[in-house]
Amino acid sequence: MLKRILIGLFFAMSLQQVSAHSDTVQVRDVVIRAMPAGMTTTAAYMVISNDSHDAKELVSVESPLAGNIEIHESVMNDGVMSMQKMDSLLLPAESKVELNPEGLHLMMLNLTQDLEEGDFHEITLMFADGSEKKAVATVQRVVPKAKHEHTGTIDKSTSTE
């Protein structure tokens, strides 16, 4: 466990040095949902803050963990939850956008390895202006819920625990 923490710290520190491209975008609480071995798809959640005076547009996401990553939005249609793929995610100027199990999330497809709780994985967010932001995600079995709890109905219908 200690080794994992040290590796994670080293990861985070080394990333800070190379992430000068987009200091106006901060990414926090990056979590990948742990899945049983053999599963090839999972979701990732995080909080993205755009502290600049300009809007930013997230256009793609990459990680060695996944063959491809899509931006998804969960929507309720006649009481049925479904997911829609988005071409991009707009981050208005001076805004904070939360990706959580009740709404926006990243869909990680064609996973290249099994997901072990406590593991760290690097992900890179790429923006329309050519800048990018690297972040370290931790794999967790229990994913934090949304901080704004006004969509409780979706929460119940998607619980798998």
Give, in degrees to the nearest 5, the angle at Cα 4 between 101 and 49. 40
| Residue environment code for 50-66, b if the CB has 16+ CB neighbours within 10 A, otherwise e | beeeeebebebbebebb
Q: Report the residue number, 22 or 34, with the smaller CB distance to Cu ion.
A: 34
Q: Which residue is nearest to Cu ion (CB)?
A: 72
Shortest Å, Cβ 109 to Cu ion: 9
Q: Report the residue number, 22 or 65, with the smaller CB distance to Cu ion.
A: 65
Q: Report the residue number, 12 or 83, with the smaller CB distance to Cu ion.
A: 83
Q: Can you give the binding site for Cu ion, defined by CB under 5 A? A: 72, 83, 107
Which 8-state DSSP code applies to residue 51?
-
Pairing of strands 25-33, 132-140: parallel
Q: Report the residue number, 16 or 158, with the smaller CB distance to Cu ion.
A: 158
Shortest Å, Cβ 93 to Cu ion: 27
Answer yes or no: are the C-beta atoms of 21 and 132 closer than 8 Å: yes
Q: Report the residue number, 35 or 107, with the smaller CB distance to Cu ion.
A: 107
Shortest Å, Cβ 85 to Cu ion: 8
Answer yes or no: are the C-beta atoms of 102 and 108 closer than 8 Å: no
Distances (CA, A) of 37 to 7, 41, 72, 115, 117: 23, 11, 23, 7, 11
Shortest Å, Cβ 70 to Cu ion: 7
Shortest Å, Cβ 74 to Cu ion: 7
